[in-house]
Chain A
Amino acid sequence: MMKKKVVVACAGAVATSTVVEKKILKLCEKNGIDIEICQVRISEIETNLTHAKLLVTTSKIKKDYGVPHIVGMPFISGIGVEKAEQEIIKILCE
């Protein structure tokens, strides 16, 4: 089966998105979902969305990119982690 592409974006593509990326990788591994993560800056989202199943951002985005979007904030704040995890699994298993 082909890996599912997840785009994770934050302001600098260095910090918060990497923290979120690691947590999503762990989650998917645990649930047997094979993913490939593409880590970008918010400004680079558009050019990296081809074939993406899911977009996760740590900052707010105003635009609808036509790809299911989840805010990765729960992975930073610890609030609502379970709900975010379930949503991610649901989107990726569809």
Chain B
Amino acid sequence: MLWNELDKDLIFVNLKIEEKEELLRNLCKTLEQKGYVKETFAEAVLEREQQFPTGVWVGDVGVALPHSVAEHVCTSKIAIAVLEQPVFFHQMDAEQTIPVQVIFLLAIAENEKHLLCLEQLVELIQDTDVMKRIIQAKNADEILQIIRKKENV
């Protein structure tokens, strides 16, 4: 369950930020300060995002799933950022950039788990209704509830 990897302190709503790199650095920093990732995590995420972008257009909204390989992670966590205004990410499968409003930053310490989380995230982002509600959520608690409900926890 994604639910298990979520943490209220790692969910940000109405985030005001103008640029992708700044956003990713901020999110990675938060994970680092809490001791969930190593200091190499941010660079690893940025580099990977540049080489293999993670932007996905799911219909009405752009989503990004940035991540690194497991070696930069100490404790598995997922940070969620919902932006007030979208920032641009490259699409996973194309040259184009798309406006992304919801970011799931995956910090997963085990490969098996990484896969499981990704599968569950794919289920989540394909649900247009859930994504709409996540964007409209007023606080971290609401987002937790939306995901919890989706997973029937």
Contact = CB atoms under 8 A, between A and B. Distances in A.
The judgment on whether A and B are partners is: yes
B114 A73 contact: no
Interface in B55-98: 56-59, 67, 69, 91-95
B118 A16 contact: yes
B46 interface: no
A81 to B, nearest CB: 9
Contact of B56 (A11, A15, A42, A73): A73
Nearest to A74: B93
B136 interface: no
A16 B56 CA distance: 12
Interface string A44-80: 0000000000000111100000000001110111110
A65 B114 CA distance: 29
Nearest to A13: B111
B11 interface: no
B58 A58 contact: no
Interface residues of B, number: 23
A57 to B, nearest CB: 8
Given A59-B53, A59-B92, A77 B115 contact: no
Give the interface size bracket for A toward B. Answer: 20 to 34
Contacts of B118: 15-16, 18-19
A16 B67 CA distance: 12
Interface string B29-70: 000000000000000000010011100111100000001010
Contact of B57 (A10, A16, A57, A79): A79
A77 B128 CA distance: 10
Interface of A: 10-12, 14-16, 18-19, 22, 42, 57-60, 71-73, 75-79
Interface of B: 48, 51-53, 56-59, 67, 69, 91-95, 111, 114-115, 118-119, 122, 125-126
